[in-house]
Chain A
Amino acid sequence: MNRRTALTLLSTAAASPFTLGSPLRALAQATAARTLTYGQSGAVTALDPAQGSFATYPAGYEVAYCLYDRLVDFDENLKFVPQLAESWDVAPDLKSIRFRLRKNVRFHDGTAFNAQAVKFNVERLIDKARNPTNRPLWDPVADADVVDEHTVAIRTKAPYSQLLNSLAHGSGSMVSPAAVEKHGDKGIAQNPVGAGPYRLEAFTPGQEVVLRAFDGYWGGKPATDRLVFKYILEASTRIAALRTGSVDVIDSVPVQLVAGLRKEANVEVVVRPSLRPMGLAINLSRPPYDDPRVRRALNHAIPVETIAERVFFGFAKASDAPLAFDTQGYQKQRPYEYSVAKAKALLVEAGFKPGAGGQLEREGKPLKMTLLASEGLFPGDVNIAEIAQRAFQQIGIDVTISKIERGSYWDALRQERAALAFDLAVFGFNPSNASGLYHLESLFKSNADDAARPTVWNMGRYRNPKVDELLAQANSNPDPAKQLAAMGEAQRIVWEDAPYVWLHVNQNVTAFRKGIKGVELWPIVFTIARRARVEA
């Protein structure tokens, strides 16, 4: 064989269609018709609702929502629907709820689900030593009382209107008490046993979770035989896996890649705003930012639409309330119009005059600002800070951006008042139990001691007794309509007091193969495959 024939052979081999691949793929699809594979952006390493919860967020929770049932579930719009509890009565004093449990429910290991099982789970969740995370959701709970085999009453220490939120939250997952006994408090994270529609088949922490339909599920066997959760960190790899058909569903599609994915004939894209409104938290503890006129000026000066377009390719919506659009209790407010003129007028009203070089000053002191930005903690955080810097410079403020590595950002935000190193800071809060009240209390309820480190997220030291009163009302008034009214009023006051520069709500993007039905994207970042089925 001379050189020429060898080369010819080589080139024909390269050009001829490689026929082995396609029949193999067809075969794989036929046998796997009732298997649904979800390529997740996060790694699942533990599947225990207590002991630090389902690491990591949201991947572990997404598996948990298929594996475990809870007393109460959310629907796609975050309304409460019965799950293991058939119905419930809220006590008039809002200090307990009595649940009537579904009968003939068994955990995957055959253990009966009953009032004792609920008591066991609630006691495990409220015990700080056994469950160190999600404390704000479980600290208000006092205990659970077994009324009879199928009735249980869960009591709270004080009136608490968010008990259903805690129970519907992923950490409210009911674990088989026998399994905890068998595997121990630590071992259950690798050997989870719930009462959900799917039971665990195989679990390789950090790589893959395989669930199989549970024959004994009270709601009937699910339509899909197997659910496979595969961890694929890299977004472009997830997209390639979806395009080749090796996974059916992917989450967390980067916004800059959505347009390309939408052109694919057999891919469907769902977009949904999250529950986390982004903003710039203002440090109200020193002038001039203690003046609401200055804070409103900042709100008028920021081009939120530009951020949504330039940083997020349109996959973000301008906030119109302290809460995100889908949060329970959200009430729309009047947006701050983007107007440099209005911003300047407000600053003049607050006593500022242009000094040397157009920079504003008051009583000879120039208007300066330190803007704290995390790096990679929130989507586009550094870009947001840079756009804000330019916007504030336009109205004559001298802005310095201070970037903080993401691991130390929470610490930099929550400091003693004397050590606060920022005037404004990029921040967004995600109420994982979907409750607007939880969100408002975490951010805007007055700190017990403004000089000390804030216990929750009121790092700007916002203090308004009227808001505190409204939040207390929303937590203790048994009438849901009154709760909503109080929260609406609190949002109106907070919006006008402007302890934040309100920015935008990011949208989450999930994509799946056409022919897959029932994939849900919840505003709490979760892509839920529980009711998903393969139809083609």
Chain B
Amino acid sequence: MVPGDEATLMAGATASQADIELLRARLGLDRPLVKQYAARLVGLARGDFGYSSTFRGNPLPHVLARLPATLLLMGAAIALTVALGLPAGVLAAVRQNRWPDYLLSLLVVGLLAIPNFWLGLMLIGALSVDRGWLPSFGFTGWASLVMPTLALAARLVALVARMTRGVMLEELAKDYVRTARAKGLGTPAVVGHHVLRNALIPTVTVIGLQTGYLLGGSVVVERLFAWPGVGDLMINAVGARDYTLVQAITILFVSGFLLINLMVDVLYVLINPRLRHA
């Protein structure tokens, strides 16, 4: 059981006990737990998430209205991860123990160690307050997307780069690579046609699993940038003891996580033709 009472918080500090009881009755919080639970389940099946004290009604439309902003941020972060992390890992593996590799290792350690909220604060300070290049908060245009995406994706870029490098090195040492080279193929062809496809599988897995991190990170990053997304809503809901809203968002987050991992499974098949016949 979660401590705290929604009705007490909603009625406020000046409310009397009688007012709280009245509110409790109106919210249905005075019914037996089993009944409350059953009613909640039936409601869920019909898309009615119950009474949210924040929105004074079913929170679902409001949560859905916030969803595009969060999806946009997550999508941008994943895109940035693929665009930066993957080539960086490949480059480091191909140039193993030379300066691109060392530089990458340094960056990876740095980016993994930096917490996203701190990076976000530094970005706001440098790019927004000092230079005025980017808007510091909210969503007012595509420029608004830059800093939240960087703050959210930094860790993931580092993780994917390191992962890709490791897998690439492993694959590069395999027999089929020697065969390919023996055929007379140059490095770009070997890496592009043969190694990368094999190396992609673990990388895609990591991105899928890290969606959980992205969702958690979006709560922090959205708060920092006052991003009009679901994560920002989540913090408010917890503060206001709006359990209905917390539940709605949690269910949405879980569905999102499952959906992305389903997509990852589909991607496996696309990347690796062998799985189609398995």
Where the two chains meet, the residues of A that have a C-beta atom closer than 8 Å to any C-beta of B are 18, 21-22, 25, 43, 45-46, 51-52, 55-57, 128, 132-136, 186, 189, 204-207, 230-234, 236-237, 240-241, 243-244, 246, 405-408, 410-411, 414, 429-432, 442, 453-456
User: What total of A-B pairs shows CB separation below 8 Å?
Assistant: 135
B131 neighbours in A (Cβ, 8 Å): 18, 21
Distance from A230 Cβ to chain B, minimum over Cβ atoms (Å): 7
B162 interface residue per 8 A CB criterion: no
B56 interface residue per 8 A CB criterion: yes
Contacts A133-B15, A240-B124, A456-B16 given; indicate if A410 touches B129 (C-beta within 8 A).
Answer: no
Whether the pair A189, B56 counts as a contact (CB closer than 8 A) is yes
Contacts A132-B23, A411-B8, A455-B16 given; indicate if A186 touches B56 (C-beta within 8 A).
Answer: yes
B17 interface residue per 8 A CB criterion: yes
Q: How far, in whole Å, are A241 and B128 apart by their CA atoms in the complex?
A: 9
B173 neighbours in A (Cβ, 8 Å): none
Whether the pair A237, B4 counts as a contact (CB closer than 8 A) is no
A241 neighbours in B (Cβ, 8 Å): 136-137, 226
Within 8 A of A (CB), among B123-141: 124-125, 128-129, 131-138
What 10 new A-B contacts, CB under 8 Å, besides A236-B121, A244-B132?
A43-B54, A52-B53, A133-B23, A134-B14, A230-B138, A233-B226, A236-B124, A236-B224, A240-B128, A405-B3
A454 neighbours in B (Cβ, 8 Å): 17
Whether the pair B136, A133 counts as a contact (CB closer than 8 A) is no
Whether the pair B4, A231 counts as a contact (CB closer than 8 A) is no
B55 neighbours in A (Cβ, 8 Å): 45-46, 205-206
B128 neighbours in A (Cβ, 8 Å): 240, 244
Whether the pair A135, B225 counts as a contact (CB closer than 8 A) is no
Q: How far, in whole Å, are A43 and B97 apart by their CA atoms in the complex?
A: 52
B5 neighbours in A (Cβ, 8 Å): 407-408, 410-411
Contacts A133-B19, A237-B225 given; indicate if A442 touches B54 (C-beta within 8 A).
Answer: no
Q: How far, in whole Å, are A22 and B10 apart by their CA atoms in the complex?
A: 44
Whether the pair B15, A205 counts as a contact (CB closer than 8 A) is no
A230 neighbours in B (Cβ, 8 Å): 137-138, 226
Question: Can you pick out 10 interface pairs between chain A and chain B where the beta carbons lie within 8 Å of each other?
Answer: A45-B55, A132-B23, A132-B26, A134-B12, A234-B223, A237-B137, A241-B226, A243-B129, A246-B136, A455-B18
Q: How far, in whole Å, are A91 and B129 apart by their CA atoms in the complex?
A: 58
Closest 9 pairs (CB-CB, A-B)? A407-B4, A408-B3, A232-B226, A240-B136, A135-B19, A21-B133, A408-B4, A240-B124, A410-B8
Q: Which of A52, A57, A230, A405 has the most CB of B within 10 A?
A: A52
B108 interface residue per 8 A CB criterion: no
- Checking A43, A135, A243, A414 against B236 with a beta-carbon cut-off of 8 angstroms, the contacting residue is A43
B134 neighbours in A (Cβ, 8 Å): 21
Within 8 A of A (CB), among B36-70: 53-57, 62, 66
> Interface code B219-257, partner A: CB below 8 Å = 1, 0 otherwise?
000011110100011011000110000000000000000
Where the two chains meet, the residues of B that have a C-beta atom closer than 8 Å to any C-beta of A are 2-5, 8-19, 22-23, 26, 53-57, 62, 66, 121, 124-125, 128-129, 131-138, 223-226, 228, 232-233, 235-236, 240-241
Distance from B143 Cβ to chain A, minimum over Cβ atoms (Å): 8
Whether the pair A233, B228 counts as a contact (CB closer than 8 A) is no
Q: How far, in whole Å, are A410 and B13 apart by their CA atoms in the complex?
A: 8
B13 neighbours in A (Cβ, 8 Å): 410, 429-430
Distance from A10 Cβ to chain B, minimum over Cβ atoms (Å): 14
Distance from A421 Cβ to chain B, minimum over Cβ atoms (Å): 14
A206 neighbours in B (Cβ, 8 Å): 54-55, 62, 66, 233, 236
A234 neighbours in B (Cβ, 8 Å): 223-224, 226
Q: Which of B15, B133, B136, B241 has the most CB of A within 10 A?
A: B136
A132 neighbours in B (Cβ, 8 Å): 11, 19, 22-23, 26
B225 neighbours in A (Cβ, 8 Å): 237
Whether the pair B136, A244 counts as a contact (CB closer than 8 A) is yes
A233 neighbours in B (Cβ, 8 Å): 223, 226, 232, 235-236
A406 nearest CB neighbor, chain B only: B4
B236 neighbours in A (Cβ, 8 Å): 43, 206, 233
Q: How far, in whole Å, are A53 and B232 apart by their CA atoms in the complex?
A: 23
- Checking B3, B10, B226 against A52 with a beta-carbon cut-off of 8 angstroms, the contacting residue is B10
A43 neighbours in B (Cβ, 8 Å): 54, 236
B23 neighbours in A (Cβ, 8 Å): 132-133
A18 nearest CB neighbor, chain B only: B133
A128 nearest CB neighbor, chain B only: B22
Whether the pair B129, A21 counts as a contact (CB closer than 8 A) is no
Q: Which of B23, B55, B223, B225 has the most CB of A within 10 A?
A: B55
Distance from A180 Cβ to chain B, minimum over Cβ atoms (Å): 15
- Checking B12, B16, B132, B235 against A21 with a beta-carbon cut-off of 8 angstroms, the contacting residue is B132
A25 neighbours in B (Cβ, 8 Å): 132
Q: How far, in whole Å, are A18 and B225 apart by their CA atoms in the complex?
A: 22
B228 neighbours in A (Cβ, 8 Å): 204, 207
A240 neighbours in B (Cβ, 8 Å): 124-125, 128-129, 136-137
A189 neighbours in B (Cβ, 8 Å): 56
Distance from B121 Cβ to chain A, minimum over Cβ atoms (Å): 6
Whether the pair A237, B16 counts as a contact (CB closer than 8 A) is no
A239 nearest CB neighbor, chain B only: B129
Whether the pair B16, A205 counts as a contact (CB closer than 8 A) is no
B26 neighbours in A (Cβ, 8 Å): 132
A136 neighbours in B (Cβ, 8 Å): 14-16
Q: How far, in whole Å, are A386 and B261 apart by their CA atoms in the complex?
A: 47
Q: How far, in whole Å, are A316 and B80 apart by their CA atoms in the complex?
A: 47
A456 nearest CB neighbor, chain B only: B16
Whether the pair A51, B11 counts as a contact (CB closer than 8 A) is no
Q: How far, in whole Å, are A110 and B223 apart by their CA atoms in the complex?
A: 40
B14 neighbours in A (Cβ, 8 Å): 134, 136, 429-432, 442
B16 neighbours in A (Cβ, 8 Å): 135-136, 455-456
Q: How far, in whole Å, are A25 and B131 apart by their CA atoms in the complex?
A: 12
Q: How far, in whole Å, are A56 and B62 apart by their CA atoms in the complex?
A: 16
Contacts A43-B236, A133-B12, A136-B14 given; indicate if A205 touches B62 (C-beta within 8 A).
Answer: yes
A411 neighbours in B (Cβ, 8 Å): 5, 8
B10 neighbours in A (Cβ, 8 Å): 52, 133
Distance from A304 Cβ to chain B, minimum over Cβ atoms (Å): 22
